[in-house]
Amino acid sequence: MHASAKLFLLTALVAAPNALLAQGNPDWLVDTLYGSGKINTVIAVVAVILLGLAFWLYRLDRRIARMENHHRP
């Protein structure tokens, strides 16, 4: 991927949630997620689990790539 395309994607990824939140939070979001502190703990926990699964996919990808390389002449 081109470097500027990567930068665009990264910016979009970072900016998108902020842009969504800036539009004013619906009641349920305020009530359930931001009502009192410590919600960031839940966010961090979910993020860790997603990263863990991504790590597993990465390892699997590497193993499959190794098999593919054996098949190439």
Please report, as ranges, the residues that interact with another protein according to CB under 8 A.
Answer: 28, 31-33, 35-39, 41-42, 44-46, 48-49, 52-53, 55-56, 59-60, 63-64, 67, 70-71
Contact in structure between 25 and 34 (CB atoms under 8 Å): yes
Of 10 and 29, the one with the shorter C-beta distance to another protein is 29
Give min distance, CB of 41 to another protein, in A: 4
Q: Which two tokens stand for residue 58?
A: 């990465």
Give min distance, CB of 5 to another protein, in A: 30
Residues in the chain: 73
Q: Which two tokens stand for residue 6?
A: 């990567």
Place of tokens 């998108």: 16
